[in-house]
Amino acid sequence: MRSVEYKTLLSVMKIKTHIGNVAVILNSPVGKPENSLLLGLKRPKNKSDNKRKRRRIGIGRWVLPGGVTKCSDKSQKHAVQREVCEETGLLFPLQSFRKAGVLRGYINSPDTPQWLVHIYLVIDLTGRTITPNKKEYTAMKWFPLSKLPFDKMLQGDREWLPRIARGEKLSIKIRANENADKAFSIDIR
């Protein structure tokens, strides 16, 4: 999709739906039993969040790096690349990001998703140091896939994240409460 078409799509959808992205960052190729996944512990709300009336999904939970697509982003891949770098300090080439799925989050409406999240898979074999964005995360850590902190993750993430990490491509619909920590229904295909 050309940049102009993409920005037009963003401006139209922005009225009803937030477009975002997350990166499933693994430290070895998909399918390896010793694989680990990078998660960040989302910082609790602060005063500046209230001033901007910003809704923060995943507060106090282990979440994937990612965020909202900006109109200045040339594509979803550029957006996820920017977000990963801002939140972890890791800069991956665009071709490293492989589309793994789409998540539609229904929070306030049964018909229109509030969130349309593009999910990308990237493999980091370098062992580089992670530099978490302290404004967003209190910690960032590699978790073995066999020991993910499910009790401290968003309910929806528990259902689809291990499958994406195993290499599946998914289309996900989640109906959840305002902070997305309680899912009322999850449809994964």
What are the pLDDT digits (tens) for 131-189?
899 999 999 999 999 999 999 998 889 999 999 999 999 999 998 877 666 777 889 99
What is the torsion angle, in degrees rounded to the nearest 10, for the CA atoms of residue 92, residue 28, residue 38 and residue 68? 40
Q: What is the pLDDT averaged over residues 40-65? A: 73
User: What is this structure's pTM?
Assistant: 0.85
Euclidean distance between CA atoms 52 and 55, whole angstroms: 9
Query: Per residue in 69-119, pLDDT tens?
Result: 999 999 999 999 999 999 999 999 999 999 999 999 898 677 889 889 999
The 10 Å CB-count burial string (b at 16+, else e) for 75-101 is ebbbbbbbbbeebbebebeeebbeebb
Burial class (CB in 10 A: 0-12, 13-18, 19+), 22: buried
